[in-house]
Amino acid sequence: MAPVTFLEVDAEDRPVVRARFPDAAIVEGILSGKELVVACKDAQAVSCFINTHFTKDIVTHLPDLKLLCTRSVGYDHIDVDACRERGITVCNVPDYGSHVVAEHVFALLLSTLRHIPEGNEKVGGGTFDYHGLRGMALRGKTIGIVGTGKIGRRVAEIAHGFGMKILATDQCRTLELIERFGVTYVTLDQLLRRSDIITLHVPDTKETQHMINAAAFAVMRKGAILVNTARGSLIDSKALLDGLKRGTLAYALLDVLEHERNFEENKALVTHPHVVTTPHIAFYADDSMRAMYVDSFESIDQWSRGETPLHVVQPATVVCDLPPIRA
């Protein structure tokens, strides 16, 4: 077996890696720059995660590297072009568990709208009283799904089970969503105007950056609820805070932030009484973590046997001929 290095391995996952690759180098934490080069200098295969950035400069300093596997769907932390130029195969995990992210959307919604934390605090404080905890039902509400890829489709499936009306916007229509779950595809503007709950499921690109901005908040229904388990850059944080202060939004439920790892930058937002945040944990469940490692292991094994790994990163082949999500 060629030298293998695993990066960003949580302590609880170390035994899983060690059992499969007993001789691998295993690194906890996040490395960058010279530290990253030193950690990977002897590796021919590296398994990483989203916080480790393999830029052109980094891969240039790793002449022995032949395989780079990210345990994630997204690979924007890897300079794929630079890797290809140097003959480095790049693999990802196409679907480590879209259902766990979709479930987290509803975990945020249900715990907030049914006042679970407040109820627990009341009872824990010795007050067994329901007054002040009247919740909001999901049945009959309109949910707007921005992006109907793997995760967005799962959200639609769950929303249908709750008896919700479902709007969606995307450049690519998924006909099964229309036929099975009654999804109606509309423009982003229409979705923002008509939805009680808006949930974001698009990648971080130049086109989607700050797609939810002051203009978007201006057309939302008063009292709308915004959920973001995708990327923090999709929302203009200042505009979001203004929307909360004006009462445009009833709640912002955020698993990601525009300025993650910088509490001071986010302090006014995350301490707002109508904001609920979790520390980017929508993906972090038993099913998904297991799948991340299993797929990464398989890619390394396939490459070691001289095969082309099944999950080599390749350009999408779908045809998207609908108008852009964001004009």
Using CA atoms in the order 321, 103, 271, 219, what is the torsion angle rounded to 10 degrees? 30
Q: In what order do the strands lie in the sheet with 249-254?
A: 184-185, 165-169, 142-146, 197-200, 224-228, 249-254, 275-277
Per annotation, catalytic residue among 260, 265, 274, 290: 260
* 137 contact partners, CB below 8 Å, separation of at least 6: none
DSSP secondary structure string for all residues of 177-230: HHHHH--EE--HHHHHHH-SEEEE-----TTTTT-BSHHHHHHSPTTEEEEE-S
Per annotation, catalytic residue among 71, 104, 221, 231: 231
Q: How far is CA 244 from CA 156, 215, 239, 270, in A?
A: 26, 14, 9, 11
Annotation says 118 is catalytic: no
Joined together, the tokens standing for residue 315 give: 């350009």
Per annotation, catalytic residue among 71, 194, 280, 326: 280
Annotation says 260 is catalytic: yes
Return the active site residues: 231, 260, 280
